[in-house]
Structure 1
Amino acid sequence: MQPVEVYRGDRPIVLGVPHAGTFVPDDIWARLNETGRKLADTDWHVDRLYSGLLAGASMVKANFHRYVIDANRDPQGVSLYPGQNTTTLCPTTDFDGRPIYHAGTEPDADEIETRRRTWHAPYHEALQAELERVKAKHGIAILYDCHSIRSVVPFLFDGTLPDFNTGTNNGTTCDPEIEAAVVARTAAAEGYSSVLNGRFKGGWTTRHYGRPSEGFHAIQMELAQKTHLASEDTPFAYDEEKAARLRMHLKAILSALETIASDLPRRAEQT
């Protein structure tokens, strides 16, 4: 299994998909307990949800599961949200805080480093290369990092998560116009709730690649899975009707970002 798949497009938008993969190597699978083997914390069907929404957009997709290693975590293991419950670079618990390994079989530091080199590094090498290619072609690259999560996860957050959770690390990872365009469209989506920089402010990927002054802009979208799944539990089936309704709004977001991407480099040259 290749760690990453890259679908190259000719537009200035790159879709990052770090958590939709479900591949787990046999040696790791053998050590996962029943909870771990459920793979409940997958960003279920996110690649399918965004597929074809913006013709010519690139997509970089991790094929491995986040239980192998989390492609949206700092490779040095630094916490994204100090003082809050979160999962680690190589998770040993699920989003409910329950162990996912048989006792005594969790990865040690050497194994974590091997997993980082084998899985995490190739994903980010591919993502970096695609962003640089797009930036060279268009003078700008917008990374739109695609995520989803169950709408109720008490271990990670209180209450029910809004449907659209936009993250820009408090406005630092993209041009204000990009942030405003996404927020405007999520706020206008009838029947959906939304928040900017709430519980999810953007993961390591968004924070690492978002360098607006250099022409690299990044924004994370965390969707509540009730917006496109029949159920937020096994078998996590894709709901065609829900997804079709949601995709209209996601398409509007991506189309707005493309329009902005065509204008920002020109304005930058004039300043």
Structure 2
Amino acid sequence: MNWLHVERRDAPLILAFPHGGSLIPDDLIGQFRSPWWAIRDADWHIAALYDGLAEATTIRTDISRSVIDCNRPPSGVSLYPGQATTGLCPIDTFDGEALYRDGEMPDIDARRVAYFTPYHDAIEAEIARLRALHPWVVVYDCHSIRSVIPRLFDGELPELNIGTDNGVTCDSTLSDAVVAACGERSHVLNGRFRGGWTTRHYGRPANGVHAIQMEIAMRAYLDEPKGEPDESNWPPTWTPDRAAPLRADLANILTAALTFAKGPA
């Protein structure tokens, strides 16, 4: 099963896509109450959104986040204590529906070995490769989410949600440049989403690795239906013309990230 994709470039920028997939292995699909629920919370069309915007290494998985969430700590500890969230192998959807049939629960250790570890081995290998070429490397974690999910956050999410774990995972020069490149779009730095495990684990500015997460509200590039989606209207159709304005803004954001990464050279 070819589920992990790495496209290498020599520029000091890595784009990671942990949640863009909707693949559920055949031996697991029967455990889920609803195959549609098991893919509904994907970061839909996220790879297409970023395609070709920058000279960057890309690392992405086709596996659904309901099988394994590659942006959660392997220990299972919550990244947002006291707030609703999903775990390493989620047992419910963003809206709180139970994912698994009665008597069926995920084998977390097996899934960690099969999917989580190879994904992060790939990221670590690319960081090491690029650090041998550059004094600084930026890991940019690519995400998107429905604009309104009452269980997870109040009201409507800003279009662009930048996470640096309150400034821990990257130099402020990088986050300031990304914020400036957001232009007129609604945005927030370290709001509801401060960065997942990828950002928090790899972001070590003192070691030359700067990590930042971008969580995009899907209305910025897709026609989201009003209210909770159903199988008749979700996921929204990918339309290049609809996404073009955001792609232009993201190109500016990635240019800012690359300019920062090349700065000390």
The TM-score range, normalised by the shorter chain, is over 0.9
Matched, 1:160 2:156: yes
Counterpart of 2:97?
98
Moved over 3 A (4+): 35-38
Task: Write 1 or 2 for the structure with the bigger share of helix.
Answer: 1
Matched, 1:80 2:106: no
Whole-Å separation in 2 of the counterparts to 1:235 and 1:95 = 15
Q: Is this contact kept in 2: 1:3–1:123, CA < 8 A?
A: no
What one-letter code is carried by the residue in structure 2 that aligns with 1:50? Y
- What SS does the aligned partner of 1:250 have? helix
CA deviation map 1:45-87 (0-9, x unaligned): 1111101001x31000012110111000000101000010000
Question: In structure 2, do the counterparts of structure 1 residues 128 and 211 end up closer, same or farther at CA, with 3 Å as the change threshold?
Answer: same
Q: Is this contact kept in 1: 2:37–2:93, CA < 8 A?
A: no
Q: What is the CA distance between 1:2 and its match in structure 2? A: 2.8
What one-letter code is carried by the residue in structure 2 that aligns with 1:96? D
Question: In structure 2, do the counterparts of structure 1 residues 105 and 23 end up closer, same or farther at CA, with 3 Å as the change threshold?
Answer: same
TM superposition score normalised by structure 1: 0.92
- Give the root-mean-square deviation of aligned CA atoms: 1.3
Could you list the runs of 5+ residues in structure 2 that have no partner in the other structure? none
Matched, 1:217 2:210: yes
Matched, 1:250 2:253: no
What one-letter code is carried by the residue in structure 1 that aligns with 2:72? R
Counterpart of 2:53?
53
1:193 to 158, 167, 186: 186
- What SS does the aligned partner of 2:213 have? strand
Correspondences of 1:252-267 after superposition (within 5 Å) = 252-263=252-263, 265-266=264-265
Whole-Å separation in 2 of the counterparts to 1:81 and 1:235 = 27
Could you list the runs of 5+ residues in structure 1 that have no partner in the other structure? 267-271
CA deviation map 1:148-189 (0-9, x unaligned): 000000111111100000000000100110010011111x2x
Q: What is the CA distance between 1:38 and its match in structure 2? A: 5.4
39-48 or 131-140, larger mean C-alpha shift: 131-140
Question: In structure 2, do the counterparts of structure 1 residues 112 and 36 end up closer, same or farther at CA, with 3 Å as the change threshold?
Answer: farther
Q: What is the CA distance between 1:18 and its match in structure 2? A: 0.4
Q: What is the CA distance between 1:26 and its match in structure 2? A: 1.2
Q: Is this contact kept in 1: 2:163–2:193, CA < 8 A?
A: yes
232-241 or 78-87, larger mean C-alpha shift: 232-241
1:150 to 146, 152, 167: 146
Whole-Å separation in 2 of the counterparts to 1:40 and 1:235 = 7
Whole-Å separation in 1 of the counterparts to 2:160 and 2:103 = 38
Counterpart of 1:269?
none
Matched, 1:125 2:124: no
Q: How many residues align?
A: 258
Q: Is this contact kept in 2: 1:16–1:145, CA < 8 A?
A: yes
Q: Is this contact kept in 1: 2:38–2:99, CA < 8 A?
A: no
- What SS does the aligned partner of 1:95 have? coil
Q: Is this contact kept in 1: 2:163–2:213, CA < 8 A?
A: yes
Whole-Å separation in 1 of the counterparts to 2:212 and 2:37 = 31
Counterpart of 1:227?
220
Counterpart of 1:34?
34
